[in-house]
Structure 1
């Protein structure tokens, strides 16, 4: 998903966040959405890189689901690039059958946060998924595909599209929340690339944080 380009974070993310990964430390943060209190641990350091923090795009997406009262109960959901797992964990607590995915080295952080927040008995899985490589190991019948701040590296966009196309069926809704980084091709991806393959609708714009949330679905014949 992030591939070897993770090694040079200054080419991926704005320079003002590069210092996040220069030291190794752990931070616990508390959030509340939809009546659920979440304790999320973030393991900062070069090992996890961009997967370590809770990004604002994830918080915006959680807030959007809270405001819109989206019904996830009994729905099959997969999150791509889960990072800390905060969005998928919330959807599990809201009754969804959630699969959290990311690259293999990020899974221990996701598993720790899932164990700390999701009671036993909730249908929650944590799995490795490398876009464009092993998406065919996953079903094609998800009700929702979720992603927060996963569109920032041009080299991954074709792989992301392949993965989205595999995971989606006619009833699938994709929610993508993203910081709109023009310099990394994020705007082009949502305005020019994704609409060639999917129906794309902007459902929320946070001007202050420059974060957009899109609802994406298959074109209907």
Structure 2
């Protein structure tokens, strides 16, 4: 049974795992969340030679598509092996391989929320991540073992091991605020929350009537312990526990929750592997109308795989909504470097939606295909 609080507990000390000492999180999305400024990660390092060759083929196609001819968005693309690799730039390296997998939604939804402390934000509920970390550390959670490694290294970024999913980063709140201000329409759209972490962006699309929502994060423990519980917490109907004397009503409500949750799918793994997984399904893959992503451009080494993910998975008339800091100190990435990367490839055009000057300067940008036909 989850514990319910009507206030939030902020994970403001990234190295602390004791939730009772945390402060209150501001309820106004427009205000900067006091989260760590350490650099967020979503992906990784080196790869096997086979996977490197696969990505190099994709990147070569991407370079070839940089002229006046636009890439077709109706099918996935490949290259023959005769193309030269000489024009590839150093930062177009493929990160460390973490094979993608899909996470099934448990049949017993109550178990998903067991031992979780639920907090509230305007229009959203989410599990307290400090409590999740504390419990997993105390229980010597095996899995990917990212909790103990993050704690011992005093970092929310261990390249190729843990890429920052167990924290709600401040640019997420910027994008959530923008959804409300710009009245972003999710109804009837297929949406991807890329590098989802807590999944709050995708959950807003879920609550906004999106027809299908996919959540992706690098680490599987993030999906199982944070993303999935957050989605379940935001899909259960109020007062279900009070319907003990009305079994038919209760069954109907549970059925409705199950139907709604069927719109959501959950994936972990590195971006290029995630692409392979969703594109290899027997049924024809319908591309995303909207890709939401926050603080995923902190490291220039990841720009190639990220760009290819957009090329492969975004529908021809779709758009990417991205939130980022102007610069990520110590890692080297940032919005201006990424925009330069995009311009050089001549596949997407970018548009600045908003600049936030509170604290470290942050940007919201939109990406669309230059040649959608």
Normalised to the residue count of structure 1, the TM-score between the two structures is 0.81
SS of match in other structure, 1:174: strand
User: Hey, what does 1:130 align to over in structure 2?
Assistant: 270
The question of whether the paired residues in 1 share the 8 Å contact of 2:349 and 2:370 is answered with: yes
User: Hey, what does 1:198 align to over in structure 2?
Assistant: 348
Consecutive unaligned residues in structure 2, runs of 5 or more: 1-10, 20-116, 135-145, 151-155, 157-163, 237-256, 279-284
User: Hey, what does 1:14 align to over in structure 2?
Assistant: none
Greater Cα radius of gyration, structure 1 or 2: 2
1:21-58, Cα deviation, whole Å (9 max, x unpaired): x34355754211xxx23234324475273211111111
> Aligned partners of 1:56, 1:18: CA distance in 2, in Å?
11
1:124-147, Cα deviation, whole Å (9 max, x unpaired): 221124112231322451100110
**Alignment root-mean-square deviation, CA:** 2.3
> Aligned partners of 2:309, 2:18: CA distance in 1, in Å?
33
User: Hey, what does 1:100 align to over in structure 2?
Assistant: 215
Consecutive unaligned residues in structure 1, runs of 5 or more: 1-16
In structure 1, which of residues 157, 161, 167 is the aligned counterpart of residue 313 of structure 2? 167
The question of whether the paired residues in 2 share the 8 Å contact of 1:101 and 1:126 is answered with: yes
In structure 1, which of residues 177, 185, 189 is the aligned counterpart of residue 337 of structure 2? 189
The question of whether the paired residues in 1 share the 8 Å contact of 2:298 and 2:328 is answered with: no
Normalised to the residue count of structure 2, the TM-score between the two structures is 0.50
The question of whether the paired residues in 1 share the 8 Å contact of 2:335 and 2:363 is answered with: no
- Structure with higher RCO (Cα < 8 A, 6+ apart): 2
Q: Residue 112 in 1 paired to residue 229 in 2? A: yes
Note closer, same or farther for the CA distance 1:67–1:159 as it changes in structure 2 (3 Å cut).
same
After TM superposition, the structure 1 stretch with the greater mean CA deviation from structure 2, 153-162 or 67-76, is: 153-162
Deviation of 1:19 after TM superposition, in Å, equals 5.4
User: Hey, what does 1:213 align to over in structure 2?
Assistant: 364
The question of whether the paired residues in 1 share the 8 Å contact of 2:272 and 2:309 is answered with: yes
SS of match in other structure, 1:143: strand
The question of whether the paired residues in 2 share the 8 Å contact of 1:202 and 1:215 is answered with: yes
1:102-133, Cα deviation, whole Å (9 max, x unpaired): 12232111111111112423212211241122
> Aligned partners of 2:286, 2:273: CA distance in 1, in Å?
15
> Aligned partners of 2:338, 2:303: CA distance in 1, in Å?
11
In structure 2, which of residues 261, 264, 287 is the aligned counterpart of residue 141 of structure 1? 287
The question of whether the paired residues in 2 share the 8 Å contact of 1:173 and 1:216 is answered with: yes
Figure out how many residues of one structure are paired with residues of the other and give that number: 201
SS of match in other structure, 1:171: strand
Q: Residue 30 in 1 paired to residue 152 in 2? A: no
> Aligned partners of 2:369, 2:286: CA distance in 1, in Å?
13
More strand by share: 1
Deviation of 1:194 after TM superposition, in Å, equals 1.8
